[in-house]
């Protein structure tokens, strides 16, 4: 690798790479053929291995029992995780890092520490039938009632609800003085009034489902409000920034794996008496893919480092959108070319390119669509100018 990094950074990258090669990639086809589900014994071994490697809570501080990796190091790990299909890499759990600064002592003990120890998992319920890109259009409500809040709303695409112990529920406050502002609540699963309406099928084959969940008169203690009334959007933006960066990193990993596998195939597969890599049409697809991967990787690595350096949060916001936009669109182009290079084999579910072709599509949609990322970048460009953002 040509990118400058410390010996410690490289050692972390190598540990994550070995984990993916040895513990995840061998199980991809089994997962694909079994609705994404692996035997519990396999998951337990993967989790134990992650603990041994110091990769079980990479985005959490050491004081709370996490691995305390820098943002750049987390990027390196996520990139490796992105090399495996079927979301097998989600066995490495990135908990809500934004909560470290925000949670009350009680919330830290009840929720954050169990997340870090791997005893509890969380999921997010923000999107609704009428509110996707326009998060402010949510209709879910939270009404104060004595020492509790009463939550109502219908949420879509709640990723990992089937595996989670806790759901972060975003709502608008129904009463003065903060009526109409957003607030985020911690809801235990199960809770009275929380009901799965449907578990729709999606393009990818993941063990984590994306449920439609109804919240009807759900009472949560006031102590389960995250931060303060009206602060809900701040945490969501912090989470979006983090996830956008990590999506960019995972997309780089996906592209590397696809280019590796497609190149090996193109060198070995012969037609018309010679390896297909000798046909310029095939070689150029690989060359374009490699060039775009390098561009995305440089952008993503530099962004990780600049966050560690404490660059202005508005600049971070624009750069996270740029990295996610470019990385996800790059990975989609690379996956499309890889399917083409594999020919008919690339359309078979046992083929890595076929799986990635379906899986990376959502990276242009979730955590803000490509169109929304472009809106954010253009808005920041108008406010700050080229030099501040690409100088």
Beta strand 141-145 with 148-159: parallel, antiparallel or unpaired? antiparallel
What lies within 8 Å, CB to CB, of 73 at 6+ separation is 8, 9, 12, 58, 304
Torsion over CA: 132, 198, 211, 27 (sign): negative
Site membership for ligand FAD, residue 210 (CB under 6 A) = yes
> For ligand FAD, which is the closer residue by CB, 248 or 372?
372
CB of 373 to ligand FAD, least distance (A): 9
CB of 308 to ligand FAD, least distance (A): 27
> For ligand FAD, which is the closer residue by CB, 63 or 134?
134
Q: What are the C-alpha distances in Å from 209 to residues 89, 166, 215?
A: 15, 15, 18
Q: Which of 56, 86, 97, 159 binds ligand FAD (CB under 6 A)?
A: 159
Q: Which of 43, 174, 196, 365 binds ligand FAD (CB under 6 A)?
A: 365
Site membership for ligand FAD, residue 82 (CB under 6 A) = no
- Span interacting with ligand FAD, options 81-89, 224-232, 328-336, 362-370, rule CB under 6 A: 362-370
> For ligand FAD, which is the closer residue by CB, 34 or 369?
369
> For ligand FAD, which is the closer residue by CB, 162 or 375?
375
Torsion over CA: 18, 22, 28, 34 (sign): negative
- Span interacting with ligand FAD, options 83-91, 94-102, 348-356, 370-378, rule CB under 6 A: 370-378
Active-site option among 44, 47, 367, 371? 367
What lies within 8 Å, CB to CB, of 360 at 6+ separation is 251, 254, 328, 331, 332, 335
CB of 157 to ligand FAD, least distance (A): 3
- Span interacting with ligand FAD, options 2-10, 22-30, 75-83, 122-130, rule CB under 6 A: 122-130
CB of 225 to ligand FAD, least distance (A): 18
Q: How far apart are CA 234 and CA 227, in angstroms?
A: 10
Bridge partners, residue 213, by sequence: 155, 196
CB of 370 to ligand FAD, least distance (A): 7
Tokens of 227: 């931060």
Tokens of 230: 């009206």
Q: Which of 66, 82, 95, 132 binds ligand FAD (CB under 6 A)?
A: 132
Tokens of 254: 């996906």
- Span interacting with ligand FAD, options 102-110, 118-126, 193-201, 303-311, rule CB under 6 A: 118-126
Residues 330, 293 contacting (CB under 8 angstroms): yes
CB of 131 to ligand FAD, least distance (A): 7
List for the chain the helix, strand, coil content (%; round to 5).
55, 15, 30
Q: How far apart are CA 308 and CA 71, in angstroms?
A: 6
Does residue 112 have a cis peptide bond before it, meaning omega lies within 30 degrees of 0?
no
Q: Which of 75, 138, 158, 338 binds ligand FAD (CB under 6 A)?
A: 158
Site membership for ligand FAD, residue 248 (CB under 6 A) = no
CB of 143 to ligand FAD, least distance (A): 21
Contacting ligand FAD within 88-107 (CB under 6 A) = none
Q: How far apart are CA 328 and CA 121, in angstroms?
A: 26
Residue 309 appears among annotated catalytic residues? no
Q: How far apart are CA 205 and CA 45, in angstroms?
A: 21
Site string for ligand FAD, 320-359 (x = CB under 6 A): ----------------------------------------
Q: What are the C-alpha distances in Å from 317 to residues 127, 233, 261, 311, 321?
A: 20, 14, 34, 10, 6
CB of 65 to ligand FAD, least distance (A): 25
Site membership for ligand FAD, residue 199 (CB under 6 A) = no
Q: Which of 46, 80, 97, 127 binds ligand FAD (CB under 6 A)?
A: 127
Tokens of 83: 């090399």
280-308 and 232-268 helices, crossing angle to 10°:
150
Complete DSSP assignment for 183-202? EEEEEESS-TTEEEEE----
Catalytic residues, by residue number, are 367
Which positions touch ligand FAD (CB under 6 A)?
123-127, 132-133, 157-159, 202, 210, 362, 365-366, 368-369, 371-372, 375
């Amino acid at each position: 690798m040509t990118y400058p990094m410390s010996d410690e950074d490289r050692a972390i990258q190598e540990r994550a790479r070995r984990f993916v090669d040895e513990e995840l990639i061998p199980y991809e086809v089994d997962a694909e053929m079994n609705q994404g589900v692996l035997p519990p014994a396999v998951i337990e071994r993967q989790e134990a291995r992650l603990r041994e490697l110091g990769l079980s809570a990479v985005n959490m501080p050491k004081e709370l029992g996490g691995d305390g990796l820098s943002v750049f190091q987390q990027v390196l790990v996520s990139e490796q995780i992105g090399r495996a299909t079927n979301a097998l890499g989600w066995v490495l759990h990135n908990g809500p890092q934004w909560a470290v600064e925000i949670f009350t002592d009680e919330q830290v003990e009840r929720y954050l520490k169990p997340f870090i120890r791997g005893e509890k998992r969380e999921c997010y319920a923000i999107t609704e039938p009428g509110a996707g890109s326009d998060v402010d259009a949510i209709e879910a409500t939270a009404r104060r009632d004595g020492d509790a809040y009463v939550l109502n709303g219908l949420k879509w695409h709640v990723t990992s609800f089937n595996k989670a112990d806790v759901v972060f529920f975003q709502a608008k406050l129904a009463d003065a003085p903060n009526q109409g502002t957003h607030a985020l609540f911690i809801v235990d699963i199960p809770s009275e009034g929380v009901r799965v309406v449907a578990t729709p099928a999606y393009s990818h084959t993941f063990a984590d489902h994306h449920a439609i969940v109804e919240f009807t008169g759900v009472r949560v203690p006031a102590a389960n409000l995250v931060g303060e009334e009206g602060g809900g959007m701040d945490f969501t933006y912090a989470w979006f920034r983090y996830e956008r960066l990590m999506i960019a990193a995972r997309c780089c990993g996906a592209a590397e794996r696809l280019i590796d596998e497609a190149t090996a195939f193109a060198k070995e597969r012969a037609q018309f008496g010679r390896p297909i890599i000798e046909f310029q049409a095939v070689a150029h697809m690989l060359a374009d893919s490699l060039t775009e991967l390098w561009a995305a990787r440089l952008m993503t690595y530099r962004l990780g480092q600049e966050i560690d350096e404490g660059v202005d949060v508005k600049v971070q916001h624009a750069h996270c959108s740029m990295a996610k936009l470019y990385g996800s669109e790059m990975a989609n182009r690379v996956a499309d070319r890889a399917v083409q290079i594999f020919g008919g084999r690339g359309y078979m579910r046992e083929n890595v390119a076929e799986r990635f072709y379906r899986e990376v599509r959502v990276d242009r949609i979730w955590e803000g669509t490509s169109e929304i990322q472009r809106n954010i970048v253009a808005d920041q460009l108008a406010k700050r100018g080229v030099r501040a953002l690409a100088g």
